[in-house]
Structure formats: structure tokens, C-alpha cells
Amino acid sequence: MKFKIINEIFIEAINNVNRALSNKTPMPILKSVKIDLTNEGINLTASDSNITIKQFIPTFINDKQIIFVEEEGSSAIPGKLLQEVLRKANDEFVELTMIEDKLVHINFKNAVFTLNCLDVKEYPNINLISSNQPIIVDSKKLSEIIRQTVISIATSESRPILTGINFKVQDNILYCIATDSYRLSEKIFKFDNEITDINIVVPGKSLLELEKLIQSKPGEIKIHLSNNIISFEMDNLIFQSRLLDGTYPETSRLIPKEFGLTLGFNRHELIDIVDRVSLLSKEGATNIIKFDVYEDKTIISLESTEIGKVVEEVHPLSQEGSLLRIGFNAKYLLDALRILDDNIVKIMFTGEVRPFIVKTKDESITQLILPVRIE
């Protein structure tokens, strides 16, 4: 295998597929990127057995030659090391040459790197799924769905099913739900065409990596499903992930429909206030803040017997309902506020020890937070 390629394009593709690499894999071969070179272009593959990313770089892009192929072939090159070498390359082109399937020379300007390679024949055969009727979603919309729900996935593996996002399609409506039992995020999206009902759970870690890949790539994404695997395809990129086994808990009954108090805030102002009030928690204090709602103002506070106390007064833009005193995790509220897009938010309470929700004029997104008991 021998070829020369524009480094800027090569390193972008290597960065993309390297998102699937893991240092924890028991298989050393999966720490490498598989490179398959033909006269048509380069196929790059990386996998940790749970996530697989494959990207194709064509020889020509918009009639410009990107790759100059001297000898076709395949190799398995340590992915992280290759990435670092390409980052240091100070030339427009880099040249890669395989030597007896054991070494690769990487040449640019006056530098030559020689890296040990793994036996490409040991790379596992990874089947990429496809379907005749994929679900088609705009990449911007899918990125928004992930961004507005992934904040609520569980980080603990005690209940593995909660480390994922539930994708459920009923009557051509997609419900995306994540919860860690203390908060919940729900995003609703209506398809314009007929979609088969589904109910799957996609690992949150997979979706976080997918969102990084697609957030700056406009266009359509084809979603393929097969048994316990989901695949996202766009342009020359395929992102495939295993699904989580198990049944996601029914959450629709958790979201309240009636409220005793609704407060309206400027979202940016409320973020600043809650961020300031929770400053003491960074010094070791509890992260539980309190809302004391009076007729003409709301007092937001945090108190620690070891560190101190902070109190800030805010005047809501609107207020409707009975007075209330409630405590909850400041991080949960900040996370919810930061992923919303509108300037005005409404916090809708049902009681001092019952879940409350954060909403905007965008009815497709709901953020729910469970309070904690306070004295």
C-alpha cells in the first residue's frame, strides 16, 4: 500500500473515525484504524465493538484530486498515534507507505515517521447494516434531539437501560426520552411521512459521539435498524452502534399536566443567578438550592453550615398561582436551561415535593426535575 493525500482532509477523516476507538478494549487490533486503499479512494474503519465508524474519502472531490494512489492495499495503523503524527505534519500532503505489512512510513516535508502496524488480517469482520426503508432525519434536527435529551441519561451502570435514550415512534411521532430517575428530558418530533412504529434504546455515549460528528454537517441522515444495531448514514460517513437490551420504563405518567404555580424568567438572567448561587457548592457545599416564592419576588439561596450562605433576589417576568418553597439540584436546572433556545422560560410547579417542569414556547421539549425535601 502506497499513497499520497492532502493532509487536511485525511486528518479530518481520521479524527472522525477515531471517536470509535477505546483504550479499554481487550483486543489490541481495535486500537488501530483499518485503511483499505483502492483507486477509487480510501475506506477508514474504527471500532470498539460497540461503536463502529466508517468513512470513505474519494480520490476526487469536486474534480480535484485528493489522493494519489501508487499501490492498492490494506493496513491497520494505531489510530491515536496516527492522529498525533498527522496533527504535527507541516506540509500540504502526507505520504504513507507500507513495508512488508509490518511497518508504515509517514513522510511529509523533511520528516519521516516509521510506525509499527498490526496484522490487518486480524481485524474483525464488521457487518454494516442497511435497510430498504430507512428513517430519514435532517442532521440539524437529530443534533438538536440528542443535545436536548442526553443531559438526563444516567452515568451510573446500576441500571444500564437508563444510560441510553429511548427512541419511540408511535403514529408517526418520535418520542425521545432520557431519565436518570432524578430528572427527565423529552423531545417530540413529528414525521411528515409514514414511519413504522419502533421502541429502542440507544446508548447515550454513542449518541454523544454521533452528535459531535453531525453538528457541523448539514444534510439528511438515513437511520437503519436491524436486530440490536442502529446505523446512521450521511454522505461518505457511517456511524453504527449496538442498542441496549431491556425495556425502557414508562415515563409518560411522570410528567404533570396541572400546576399550582408558574413562574416566567429571562433564561439568560436565571442561568447567571443560579450559577452564582451554586458557587458555594464548588467549594464542597451541597448543590441543593432553594426557591422561596413570595407575591412580589423570589428568593434563590444556598446554605452550608461549613462554608456559608448565599441569597439572591429575583423578580419573575410573570407569576401565576400559590406561593411555594422548594429545593432541588442546581446542576439539573442549569443543564436544562442551557440546552433550551428561547429567551423566556417557564418553570411550572405542582408542589413542594412533586416534580416540576421547565418549558419554553417550543412545546416539543420538556425538562422535568425532581425536588428534594428541605426543612
Per-residue pLDDT tens for 10-59? 999 999 999 999 878 889 999 999 999 999 999 999 999 999 999 999 99
Q: How many domains are contained in the chain?
A: 3
pTM of the full structure: 0.93
Instruction: Please check whether residues 11 and 88 belong to one and the same domain.
Output: yes
- Separation between Cα atoms, residue 147 and residue 142, nearest integer Å: 9
CATH code (residue 195): 3.10.150.10
Instruction: Please check whether residues 199 and 259 belong to one and the same domain.
Output: no
Tens of pLDDT, residues 203-241 = 999 999 999 999 888 999 999 999 899 999 999 999 999
- Separation between Cα atoms, residue 267 and residue 248, nearest integer Å: 31
Tens of pLDDT, residues 256-289 = 999 999 999 999 999 999 999 998 887 766 899 9
Instruction: Please check whether residues 65 and 85 belong to one and the same domain.
Output: yes
Helices (H), the chain: 7-17, 79-88, 139-149, 204-214, 267-277, 330-339
Identity of residue 153: I
Contact (CB, 8 A) for 219 and 139: yes
Instruction: Please check whether residues 147 and 212 belong to one and the same domain.
Output: yes
Say what the pLDDT of residue 33 is.
98
Burial 20-51 (b: 16+ CB within 10 A, else e): bbeeeeeeebbbbbbbbbeeebbbbbbbbeeb
CATH code (residue 341): 3.70.10.10
Instruction: Please check whether residues 158 and 214 belong to one and the same domain.
Output: yes
- Sign, Cα dihedral of 78, 81, 87, 90: negative
Per-residue pLDDT at 96 exceeds 90: yes
Instruction: Please check whether residues 32 and 67 belong to one and the same domain.
Output: yes
Instruction: Please check whether residues 242 and 216 belong to one and the same domain.
Output: yes
Instruction: Please check whether residues 277 and 310 belong to one and the same domain.
Output: yes
Range of the domain at 118: 2-122
List the grid coordinates of 199: 421502541
Instruction: Please check whether residues 209 and 276 belong to one and the same domain.
Output: no
Domain termination residue (choose one: 61, 91, 122)? 122
Instruction: Please check whether residues 302 and 213 belong to one and the same domain.
Output: no
DSSP calls for 229-255: EEEEEETTEEEEEEPPPS-PPP-GGGS
Instruction: Please check whether residues 191 and 263 belong to one and the same domain.
Output: no
Does residue 375 fall inside a structural domain?
no
Side-by-side strand order, sheet with 288-293? 308-314, 298-304, 288-293, 324-329
Distances (CA, A) of 352 to 236, 327, 369: 52, 8, 12
Does residue 374 fall inside a structural domain?
no
Burial 179-203 (b: 16+ CB within 10 A, else e): bbebbbbbbebeeeeebeeeebbbb
- Separation between Cα atoms, residue 271 and residue 268, nearest integer Å: 5
- Separation between Cα atoms, residue 328 and residue 356, nearest integer Å: 10
